[in-house]
Amino acid sequence: MILVVARAATTTDAFNAVAEPRRRQILDVLSDGEHPVNDLVALLDLAQPLVSKHLRVLREVGLVEVRDEGRQRMYRVNGRPLKPIHDWVKNYEESWSQRFDRLDVVLEELKETEGRDDND
Amino acid sequence: MTTTSGSAVVTLPTDTQILITREFDAPRHLVFKAWTTPELIKRWWAGDRGEVTTAEVDLRVGGTWRYVMTANGGFEVAFHGEYREVVPNERVVSSEVFEAFPDAEAVVTYTFTERDGRTTLTILVQHPNQETRDAHINSGMEGGMNEAMDHLEQVALSLR
């Protein structure tokens, strides 16, 4: 059943974790490579505690990984938890593409019919 | 032969929305006609997934629509809704209910934009809340592959 699927808590569900726009921004920044938290604070113009809070949620769902480098903690993206979402969108896209391909055929006929009518 | 105009692009602009975009090699009055004429809808709406058995369209504000298809698996899939905005050849806003789950109503905005004889169709599906949309999306990720495909089929159709 579709609508009775239990809603996962934000902290255990990658999809819900990326529903928050700020967290998507953080992932965007990290997509070009590792950054310390200070970079994120500067680039996103957000208070450090807020950035840390978002990073914690992203780490809990596995979307962000961290390692220590000297005194800094370096954050990087791990895209694997997003694959089910990507796959779902791909499937959804495919079913729409099938539908649109059939519409293309209908439109070609309408164009031909209209062209004939214009020439009559 | 038909001109391939590109594939559908699906994005998730906000936590309650799905946006589908597709360009067609035809002027928008024809895309609009194919999109809103029952005998034409019957030819494309089911895609490769079955046969459309009913396509009712009362295209005016307050008018209703209802589409039914018999899917390849033999089961029936039905949707209905009410038109909230109708601007011929430009824009249609309608509610949409997947009849298997009548409590979850989406609002869908169809926009037809023409440029150089080609038409871009955008379909913005607004779910009532994130839970409804997430439930659709998450459900396809669970269970065996067949079950997942069944869900995806329902999901895809329910979001039309």
Q: What is the 3-state secondary structure (H, E, C) of chain A?
A: CCCCCCCCCHHHCHHHHCCCHHHHHHHHHHCCCCEEHHHHHHHHCCCHHHHHHHHHHHHHCCCEEEEEECCEEEEEECCHHHHHHHHHHHHHHHHHHHHHHHHHHHHHHHHHHHHHHHHC
Helix (H, G, I), strand (E, B) or coil at B154: helix
Confidence at B10, pLDDT banded by 50, 70, 90: confident
Q: Is B131 within 8 Å of chain A by CB?
A: yes
Nearest chain A residue to B3 by CA: give it. Answer: A104
Q: Do A97 and B7 touch (CB under 8 A)?
A: yes
Burial status of residue B2 (CB atoms within 10 A of its CB: 0-12, 13-18, 19 or more): middle
Which CATH architecture best describes the domain B9-158? 2-Layer Sandwich (3.30)
Contact yes or no for A92 and B155 at CB 8 A: yes
Residue A108 near chain B (CB below 8 Å): yes
**Chain A residues whose beta carbon lies within 8 Å of the beta carbon of residue B154:** 2
Chain B residues with CB under 8 Å of A110 CB are: 26, 30, 33-34, 40
Least confident of A46-50, B22-26, B133-137: B133-137
Q: Please indicate if any CB of chain A lies within 8 Å of the CB of B72.
A: no
Q: How many CB atoms lie within 10 A of CB B113?
A: 14
What distance in Å separates the CA atoms of residue B41 and residue B57, rounded to the nearest whole number?
10
Residues B158 and B103: their CA atoms lie apart, in Å, by 12
The domain spans of chain B are 9-158
What part of B 97-116 touches A (C-beta under 8 Å)?
100-101, 103-104
Whether B47 sits inside 8 A of A95 (CB atoms) is yes
Show me where the domains of chain A are located.
10-78, 82-119
In order along its 120 residues, chain A shows pLDDT tens digits of 333 334 444 456 777 787 788 888 898 888 888 999 999 999 999 999 999 999 999 999 898 999 999 989 999 988 887 777 777 777 778 888 889 999 999 999 999 998 887 665
What CATH code would you report for A10-78?
A: 1.10.10.10
